[in-house]
Amino acid sequence: MHIGEKWSRVVLIMVLSRGVAMLMGKYQNSIDDKARMIVPARFREQLSLKCVLTRGIDNCLYIYPMNEWSVLMEKLSKLPMSDPDARAFVRHFYANAVDVDIDRQGRLTIPSELRDWAGITKDLVTIGLISRVEVWSKEHFEDEQGRTELEQSDFAKKMMEYGI
């Protein structure tokens, strides 16, 4: 083990010991007639009873635990408002964000504007990605997977390129 690897492990241990949400896994479910989705049980503890739902990237929705939303808001607030791209980026997340409550049965309601934008009609794929949850229409997720899936050799090259 070289020095960089050692410090990476120390940082990982520090992050985990601070209770940073570790959302992971993929689940398939659906929304009911009242536009409620069941939040996978493994995500509920990290999300707590109140979280933020907003537009994501790639036509999916993001669910953020309140503490992670605060981190994102802090980063977004530091972007230069003189830059039109930065303003558009901030608008994308803020203008479409809603506070949502997870009820006693582990469900949250997806507002119609967000459902329509993400193409969600019935079947969902829900993915934990470290600090947030992505909610996809099953059709969009399958299309995205087919479009972005890397060949094994390309996957290995990208891991090396990203230092993983």
CATH code (residue 139): 3.40.1550.20
To the nearest whole number, what is the mean pLDDT of the chain? 83
Q: Rounded distance, CA 83 to CA 140, Å?
A: 31
* 118 Cβ neighbours under 8 A, 6+ residues apart: 55, 56, 59, 60, 61, 135, 136, 137, 140
**Amino acid 6: pLDDT:** 40
**Residue 5 falls inside a structural domain:** no
**Amino acid 92: pLDDT:** 86
pLDDT digits (tens, 9 = 90+) for 43-87: 988 888 899 999 998 899 999 999 999 998 899 889 998 999 999
**Residue 39 falls inside a structural domain:** yes
Category of 89 on φ-ψ map: left (φ > 0), alpha (ψ -120 to 50) or beta: alpha
**Amino acid 10: pLDDT:** 34
**Residue 49 falls inside a structural domain:** yes
pLDDT digits (tens, 9 = 90+) for 108-118: 999 999 999 99
Q: Rounded distance, CA 117 to CA 138, Å?
A: 14
Domain count of the chain? 1
**Residue 10 falls inside a structural domain:** no
- Name residue, tokens 């907003």: 54
**Amino acid 114: pLDDT:** 96
Predicted confidence (pLDDT) at residue 34 exceeds the cutoff of 80: yes
**Amino acid 21: pLDDT:** 52
- pTM, two decimals, is 0.79
**Residue 15 falls inside a structural domain:** no
**Residue 112 falls inside a structural domain:** yes
pLDDT digits (tens, 9 = 90+) for 6-31: 433 333 333 444 455 578 889 999 99
**Residue 91 falls inside a structural domain:** yes
Task: List the domain range (segments joined by +) for residue 83.
Answer: 21-161
| 50-55 and 61-65 beta bridge pairing | antiparallel
**Residue 67 falls inside a structural domain:** yes
